[in-house]
Amino acid sequence: MKENKQKILERIKELREKIKYHDYRYYVLNQPEISDYEYDKLYRELKELEEKYPEFVTPDSPTQRVSGEVVKEFKPVRHTFPMLSLDNTYSQQEILDWVERISKYVSLKDIEFIVEPKLDGLSCSVHYIDGKLHTAATRGDGEVGEDVTLNVKTIKSLPLSLEPKEKIIIPKFFEVRGEVIMLKKDFEELNKELRQKGQQTFANPRNAASGSLRQKDPKITAQRPLRFYVHSSGKVEGDVVIETDEEFLNLCKKFSLPVIQHYKVCKRIEEVIDYCLEWQQKRDTLEYDIDGMVIKVNQLKYREKIGSTLKSPRWAIAYKFPAKQATTILKNVVMQVGRTGIITPVAELEPVECGGVIISRATLHNFDEVKRLGVKIGDTVLVERAGEVIPKIVKVIESKRTGKEKEIEIPKLCPICGSHIIKEEKEVAYRCPNSSCPAQIINSIVHFAKREAMDIEGLGESVAVALVEKGLVKKLSDIYFLTKHQLLTLPLFKEKKAQNLLNAIEKSKQRPLSKLLYGLGIRHVGEKAAEVLAEKFESLDKLMQASEFELQKIPEIGPVMAKSIKDYFANKYSQEIIKELKKAGVNMIQPKVEKKGPQVFSGMTVVFTGELESMTRSKAEEIVKQLGGNTSGSVSKSTSLVVVGKNPGSKYEKAKQLGIKIINEEEFLKMINVKS
Ligand code: IVH
């Protein structure tokens, strides 16, 4: 080979290695090291070189994930041995009954259990022959599945060839079985895209995963963000000895295969039950949907002894969480008016149990959603509760229609103040344009007073409602002119409570500009953007003078936000509020955080979760900034460090999942050089 060509081949190989490495970091470890831009650059270079030198293309090159073929139908694939399903249990007692049953085959003291989340996706078997991804098949009827090899090859978390990180022999035939899923955030993103294109959306991540995998054109699958997690072994042939499920999963990890997360080997059944209940509590902290836990016997020799029925193995069982979906009747729809006047239709439901709680309301988001669902008053609907958010309606059960259902009308007038409702072009939402609509004022007070904004303790929803209903607050800034005498006229207000609220209002005047900006509730301006703006402009006056162009030049501020900021300050009503806030003595300056001391947090983004004992969170955040760092209210891939106090929330789980460095308060104090 000519020297030049040799060099090109070497570069091609180097690029492939790099891309594989970064795929693994991103899709399997969840710890990317480079930006999407840098990744695309590597990919493009490889693609161009391979196009120029097709003789160097190999089937396991990252560019070969997407084939040009379109299949008419999926060919049948007979499974090496049946892909069984699992029997379900719904309570601790049923788990204990299962253990009792298997103890007839093997003494309980010898059994180890492996417990892991039950992923809500679709199962798939993948064969590697001589280390190369050869065939992938859906479960089908358990005996025969559908050949989805071309589609599965597009899943970037799955290596096209097994590449052991250490010296181990690759088995001649290596079959892994696992679940194809879609992350919740990817599902939301995909639906958004489909909606924009006017295409049919998916009801949940599982349907989206299934619909994406079973595409006849792999190019479409390639655009869908699917993930694969190995959860069980298939046929393995070659020089390997595997004695337990845990060993099998460890071997898969050595081959860079994406292995199910959060599995745990337990010796005692109490431990198993505790682990199941722990995840029942924490299920929403995961990036994907799980519908229960799977409990399996870890030792393979005992699995054989215990055996299987035709339908399911006896050595494994699923513990199903209480369903988060339920069907009920939509009794009525009420219109809620938000802080910015947006009208949200909210469904009133026949109360029903859903995932362990009784629900009687569900959001319909907006009138586009009402149209999409085709929902009417009186319909039987499927509702779903996900995370802590209010439940939503997934679909109408059409077969239950009686013909007596009533259309949901878009209101012409605001249900609170009677103003004519408007719909701005290009926007989905209908709005009440009246800034002094009581509903808007109540919601804007609650937002203004919350901890992340002006932090006025004691000014929650019920107090805000009372203040507006009594006519004591007609616009946001009026809260700074309340007297004790007025507060004492509110329900349940006595001397002490009134004084506490006055003190909290007074204290809020010293909040930095970033908090005030966020509290004003300018559309599209969230906590982070408010901070960026405050730091950039330093005073409200300067920000108010900035042009839309100037605003857009800031990397974090897009055109929509820039316009919204300009519109807000151009509005007479907002100007009046700002004037009054000034008059009340509310701080409108962003205090400059002076960088001092060793810059130990230089270039880092730090997130706090839980309660700190030695100082307030805002003090800790200030120190981080002094020492060169940035802070954020939420954990993401760009977080560098999470400081965990007492009773941490979901941010802690997320950080663990993303593999972000976590330290406790004591370690934090050491970093900032305070001995605890
Ligand atoms: S083990 C014999 N582990 O649940 C089957 N299955 O209801 C052994 N599933 O079709 C399967 N997460 O695809 C196992 N961590 C997990 C799982 C899991 C989801 C699916 C599996 C199967 C279905 C059975």
**Which residue is closest in CA terms to ligand 1's atom 3?**
231
What one-character-per-residue DSSP string does 490-559 give?
STT--HHHHHHHHHHHHHHTTS-HHHHHHHHT-TT--HHHHHHHHHHH-BHHHHHH--HHHHHTSTT--H
**Which residue is closest in CA terms to ligand 1's atom 9?**
118
**At 473, is the pLDDT very low, low, confident or very high (cuts 50, 70, 90)?**
very high
Query: What was the pLDDT predicted at 420?
Result: 96
Mean pLDDT of 68-84: 86
**Distance in Å, CA 295 to ligand 1 centroid:** 10
**At 171, is the pLDDT very low, low, confident or very high (cuts 50, 70, 90)?**
very high
Tell whether the model's pLDDT for residue 395 goes beyond 80. yes
Is ligand 1 within 6 A of the CB of residue 631?
A: no
Q: Which helix (H) or strand (E) holds 134?
A: strand 132-138
Is ligand 1 within 6 A of the CB of residue 180?
A: no
Cβ contacts of 641 within 8 Å, gap of 6 or more: 601, 604, 605, 606, 607, 660, 661, 662, 663
Query: What was the pLDDT predicted at 388?
Result: 54
Vertex 265, ends 260 and 266: CA angle to 5°? 140
Distance of alpha carbon 348 from alpha carbon 225, whole angstroms = 35
3-state helix, strand, coil in the chain (%, to 5): 40, 20, 40
Q: Identify which has the larger pLDDT, 424 or 276.
A: 276
Give exposure, 585-604, as e/b (b: 16+ Cβ within 10 Å): ebbbebeeeeeeeeeebeeb
Q: Which helix (H) or strand (E) holds 292?
A: strand 290-297
Is ligand 1 within 6 A of the CB of residue 318?
A: yes
Phi and psi of 357, rounded to 5°? -130, 155
**Which residue is closest in CA terms to ligand 1's atom 18?**
118
Q: Identify which has the larger pLDDT, 284 or 252.
A: 252
Catalytic residue (choose from 118, 156, 515, 651) = 118
Query: What was the pLDDT predicted at 387?
Result: 58
**Which residue is closest in CA terms to ligand 1's atom 22?**
85
What tokens does 26 get?
A: 């991103």
Query: What was the pLDDT predicted at 676?
Result: 47
Distance of alpha carbon 400 from alpha carbon 376, whole angstroms = 12
Choosing from 141, 232, 246, 248 the residue with most ligand 1 atoms within 8 A of its CB, the one to mutate for a pocket test is 232
Tell whether the model's pLDDT for residue 1 goes beyond 70. no
**Distance in Å, CA 253 to ligand 1 centroid:** 19
Distance of alpha carbon 177 from alpha carbon 231, whole angstroms = 6
User: How do strand 641-644 and strand 661-664 relate by DSSP bridges?
Assistant: parallel
Domains of the chain plus CATH, in order, are 2-64 (1.10.287.610), 78-320 (3.30.470.30), 324-400 (2.40.50.140), 438-508 (1.10.150.20), 513-584 (1.10.150.20), 605-671 (3.40.50.10190)
Is ligand 1 within 6 A of the CB of residue 179?
A: yes
Query: What was the pLDDT predicted at 179?
Result: 97
Query: What was the pLDDT predicted at 652?
Result: 87
Other C-beta atoms within 10 Å of 72: how many? 6
Is ligand 1 within 6 A of the CB of residue 313?
A: yes
Mean pLDDT of 626-649: 86
Query: What was the pLDDT predicted at 354?
Result: 86
Tokens 């050089």, located at residue: 673
Residues 342 and 429 sit within 8 Å (Cβ to Cβ): yes
Extract the runs of DSSP E, i.e. beta strands, from 338-465: 343-354, 357-363, 380-384, 392-396, 422-423, 430-431
**Distance in Å, CA 316 to ligand 1 centroid:** 9
Counting residues of the chain whose pLDDT is more than 70, the rounded percentage is 98
**Distance in Å, CA 159 to ligand 1 centroid:** 21
Is ligand 1 within 6 A of the CB of residue 181?
A: no
**Which residue is closest in CA terms to ligand 1's atom 15?**
118
Tell whether the model's pLDDT for residue 149 goes beyond 90. yes
Burial class (CB in 10 A: 0-12, 13-18, 19+), 295: buried
In terms of average pLDDT, the best of 57-61, 203-207, 496-500 is 496-500
Choosing from 179, 245, 295, 311 the residue with most ligand 1 atoms within 8 A of its CB, the one to mutate for a pocket test is 179
Mean pLDDT of 478-488: 97
- pTM above 0.75? no
Which tens digits make up the pLDDT trace of 8-62?
Answer: 999 999 999 999 888 888 888 777 788 777 888 899 999 999 999 999 999 889 9
User: How do strand 113-119 and strand 144-146 relate by DSSP bridges?
Assistant: unpaired
Distance of alpha carbon 139 from alpha carbon 107, whole angstroms = 33
**Distance in Å, CA 616 to ligand 1 centroid:** 45
Residues 376 and 408 sit within 8 Å (Cβ to Cβ): yes
**At 616, is the pLDDT very low, low, confident or very high (cuts 50, 70, 90)?**
confident
Q: Determine the 3-state secondary structure of 447 from DSSP.
A: helix
Query: What was the pLDDT predicted at 27?
Result: 82
CA distances from 546 to 353, 543, 562, 566, 574 (A): 52, 5, 10, 8, 16
For residue 124, the ligand 1 atom closest to its alpha carbon is 13
Distance of alpha carbon 611 from alpha carbon 591, whole angstroms = 25
Q: Determine the 3-state secondary structure of 133 from DSSP.
A: strand
Query: What was the pLDDT predicted at 513?
Result: 97
Mean pLDDT, the chain, whole residue set: 91
Residue type, 301: K
Q: Which helix (H) or strand (E) holds 181?
A: strand 173-182
Which tens digits make up the pLDDT trace of 570-587?
Answer: 999 999 999 999 999 999
Q: Which helix (H) or strand (E) holds 228?
A: strand 226-237
Query: What was the pLDDT predicted at 152?
Result: 95
**Which residue is closest in CA terms to ligand 1's atom 12?**
118
Counting residues of the chain whose pLDDT is more than 90, the rounded percentage is 68
Respond yes or no: is residue 118 known to be catalytic. yes
Distance of alpha carbon 315 from alpha carbon 635, whole angstroms = 39
CA dihedral 383, 384, 388, 390 (to 10 degrees): -20
Other C-beta atoms within 10 Å of 475: how many? 17
For residue 179, the ligand 1 atom closest to its alpha carbon is 13
Which tens digits make up the pLDDT trace of 414-467?
Answer: 999 999 999 977 778 899 999 889 999 999 999 999 988 999 999 999 999 999
CA dihedral 630, 633, 638, 639 (to 10 degrees): 70
Length of the chain as a residue count: 676
CA distances from 544 to 475, 551, 567 (A): 20, 10, 10
